[in-house]
Structure formats: structure tokens, C-alpha cells
Structure 1
Amino acid sequence: MSGKATILVVEDDAEVSAIVRDMLSDEGYAVECMDRAAPLMPRLEQGGVDLLILDLMLPDADGLDITMALRDRKGMGLVILSGKSETDERIIGLELGADDYVPKPFEPRELLARVRSVMRRLGRAAQGDTEAALLFDGLRLDPTARSVAGRDGAPIALSNSEYSLLLAFVRNPNQVLSREKLLELTHQAYMPAFDRSIDVRVGRLRKKIERDAHEPGLIQTVRHIGYIFATRVEEEGEI
């Protein structure tokens, strides 16, 4: 890692903010805190924020509106904190592009594990490791750069959660993957097996990578079980 990764915590509860700040600082992260949404966007425009931890119930803004505004962000993770633990709330947050959803009250060690998981997916857990690009159905996924190029060579904008799901499929082609397995592969095994978050993300991903999202040929549904990534995947340069 070249320097400390920076985590921005937006939380209006001073006690919760202090707990999160101290825990993450002890882990070697650079932590910034704010208790309102107003200064958030100007700070993000300055750059240098690797992960945002966002309370949904802020005094001056709706956290879901902020999440929606950030859904096309590149290279920055987003973990939602919320006092609402209902399944529908989690699904909405993830559908809007959050990488993870942590209900309150939370165990600090669990939040730390979630943060570490998102940071790994962002490529901030290791430095210098490179992987060969993966080719499939005219598309190119570069695990090192965390980028995906379309059939015309143009980049495809994926949220972090969409990218993690695609990477799970690409690394496990032509295998029937249950929803539970996909939750595990995308580091969200803590979520209940009946949770529809995987289905929501599959639908969004299909719109971006399928030749025809209405008749998907890549990500095929296996009724009552899950999905299969039905294509050949090759490493770039593979003979």
C-alpha cells in the first residue's frame, strides 16, 4: 500500500463516530469524520478518499439520496450504517450501489471485517500483485486494474458490488452457483440466503454486459438454485 488508505466517516452520533474512528485508526487507516452531509461532496471532489462509511439518518440529508448520487463513483468503496435493519432497506442500499450494509447496533469487530473485505475488493489490501486479464464473449476484465472493457473496447462502468459479482462469475465459469455461494464469493455470506440482493445485482450487471439483457446468454438463471456463467473464459495470451 502506498501510504495509508483514507476512510471518511459521516455519522452524526458523536459516540459512534469516535468508536469507528479509533478502531480504524488503530488498524492503520487515515480516518476523517464529519457529522453532516453538507461538507461531504466538496470533500469527495478533492479526491483521496478510498472508502466512505455513511450513516443513512443524517440531520441534513437522506443517506439513500447520497448513495444514489455516488452510485457511479469509481475506485471508492461505500459502506452504509443504518438503524434500519429490514431486508428491504438493505436491498435498496445495495441496489443503489453500496458495497455493504451494516445495521445498528453493530459489533465494531464486525464492521472492521466488512471494511477490510471492501478494501480487499478495491485492491488496497496488497501491492505489486498482478493477474492476467480475463477474456470472455468479447469482453476483457483486468483484475489488477479492476476494469472491464466492452466488445468495442470502451470501458464499462461498474459499481464495486457489480464488479465483485462479475469477478465471481468469471472465476467460476460454467458452474451452477447458488445465491448462498455468490454471497460467499462476493464476501457477503453474512446476508440471509433468501435475500434478493444477488438477484438485484445480477439484473443490473446483465444490463451492462449482456448482448441482450432481455435474453441473457452469459448469466443464465438456474431455476430454484441460482445462476451459471455460461461461456468460455481465457487468460489473455493463453494459447
Structure 2
Amino acid sequence: MNSGDLPPSRPLLVVDDDRKLCGLIRDYLAPRGWQVDMRHTGPEGLEAASTGDYEAVLLDVMMPGMDGFEVLRELRKTSTIPVLMLTAMGEEADRIVGLELGADDYLPKTFSSRELLARLRAVTRRSVRSGEAADAGKEWSAGDLTLNEETHLVTLDGGNLELTALEFAILASLLKAKGRVKSREALLEEVSDRRFDVFDRSIDVHVSQLRRKLGDDPKQPRFIHTIRGVGYKLKEPA
């Protein structure tokens, strides 16, 4: 095993009705430290993802009956497990819908094996970071919004917020830079280990979801302000 490969026995759930593709993914990832479970229908995938102890879920959009969007919508009611969506090549609408429903990242169905491994590393690394005491005891706040890196708790007006690992990472980055602008490029590279593309709207979608959970009106935001043509800035609420 190369030094850059992942440690053994990391459980991954693959939900896709293409059995041949599932087998290829398993055969590639198994020697690289992943224990791959496969489900081939939406209901089976949802049950496994909801009850199993997986580090991530690789979820296809196009499945008969219950598609990947429905699975993700139901899963996000109870779980913040990292989800990587498989989308048809060039279907930007599928990517945007998946991100809006709470997917952490996406891959077109023409992905290379190396890209798959890189994306899996990125989404699971975010999840591990968010669950660890990265800066033990560090707490960041703006008004009634508080983020604690040790407990991975985010509270607003005294109530807990349920954020995905990526949303937590974006909020932490903005809180630490409170009052300073974070460019879209910097945010994307910091939280997803992916280079910025001018056509990539993923950061905007994730910020939009984060705003929704914060109850932030983008036209009159309390916390996250858009700096047109640049990025975002988190400010102390008035």
C-alpha cells in the first residue's frame, strides 16, 4: 500500500442500480482500504445508509422507483453522513439539486478512479475534522450564533443547528475570518480540496443552504453578506 492510500476497513456504501459499475468501484477501492457495501435500489440504499455505520455514501441519481434525490432527501432528515452524488455527464441541474438537498459533493458518471478516490478522501476528511477537537475548546461567535470546534456544536438563539460537515467547515471558515472577505476560490479550495472553476456553483449552493438554516435573508442578511464578484463575508449582526 502506498503511503498516500487510505487505512484499511473504511466502510463505504455504494447505491447504484448499475451492478457492473458497483463491482468496478468495489474492485478498485478494496485494495486501497475501503470495505464497499452495495445496494441496487433506492429503498435498500436508504435503509442501509440510515442504519449502517458508514464513513460515506456514493449515491447515484438515476435509479428506477426511488431515485437518488428522494433517498438523499429522506436521509438528510436523520443523518449528516457525507454523500457523494453520481450525476449524468453535463447535467448541471442534477448537481445543483443534489447540493441543495444536502449532498457534500458530486461526480459525473465519467469519473476516473483517481478522481473518485480523491473526492472520497476530501469528504471523509472534512467529516473527521469536524468531529475532532481541531482547536480544542475553540469557540467562535457572532451575535447569538456560536460554533464550537471541540463539540462540533452550532447554536443560534439558544437552539442547536444541524449542519453537514461541509456546511460546518464553511461556517467555521467565515467565522474565523469575521469581518474579512473570503473569496469563492479560497472557500472552495479550503473546504473541498477542489480547484475553483468559474462555472462551479457548488459554493454558492452550500452558502445558500447555510443561510437557510441560519434564517438569513440574502437581501438583508444578519450574518453572511455577499460581496459581489468576490465572495462572502460574515459580519457581527446589528
Q: TM-score range by the shorter chain?
A: 0.7 to 0.9
- Compare the two structures and name the one with the higher helix fraction: 2
Is the 1:139–1:151 contact (alpha carbons within 8 Å) kept by the matching residues of 2? yes
Q: Which residue of structure 1 aligns with residue 47 of structure 2?
A: 42
Q: Which residue of structure 1 aligns with residue 87 of structure 2?
A: 82
Cα distance in 2, alignment partners of residues 33 and 149 from structure 1: 36
Q: Which runs of 5+ in 2 are unaligned?
A: 1-5
Cα distance, 1:195 vs. partner?
2.9
**CA RMSD in angstroms, aligned pairs only:** 2.8
Cα distance, 1:30 vs. partner?
2.2
Q: Which residue of structure 1 aligns with residue 126 of structure 2?
A: 121
Q: Which residue of structure 2 aligns with residue 59 of structure 1?
A: 64
Structure 2 counterpart of 1:150, one-letter code: L
Q: Which residue of structure 2 aligns with residue 207 of structure 1?
A: 212
Q: Which residue of structure 2 aligns with residue 163 of structure 1?
A: 168
Q: Which runs of 5+ in 1 are unaligned?
A: 233-239
Aligned-pair identity in percent equals 33
* Alignment deviations for residues 121-141 of structure 1 (CA, whole Å, 9 cap, x no partner): 111799776533322123322
Cα distance, 1:207 vs. partner?
2.8
Cα distance, 1:205 vs. partner?
1.4
Match status 1:68 vs 2:64:
no
Is the 2:181–2:231 contact (alpha carbons within 8 Å) kept by the matching residues of 1? yes
Q: Tell me: higher relative CO, structure 1 or 2? Use CA pairs within 8 A at least 6 residues apart.
A: 1
Cα distance in 2, alignment partners of residues 182 and 125 from structure 1: 16
Cα distance in 2, alignment partners of residues 126 and 160 from structure 1: 9
* TM-score normalised by length of structure 2: 0.84
Structure 1 counterpart of 2:155, one-letter code: A
* TM-score normalised by length of structure 1: 0.83
Cα distance, 1:170 vs. partner?
2.1
Cα distance, 1:105 vs. partner?
0.9
Q: Which moved more, 1:110-119 or 1:24-33?
A: 24-33
Aligned residue for 1:186, secondary structure, equals helix
Structure 1 counterpart of 2:148, one-letter code: D
Aligned residue pairs total 231
Task: Say if 1:3 and 1:148 are closer, same or farther in 2 by CA, change over 3 A.
Answer: farther
Structure 2 counterpart of 1:206, one-letter code: R
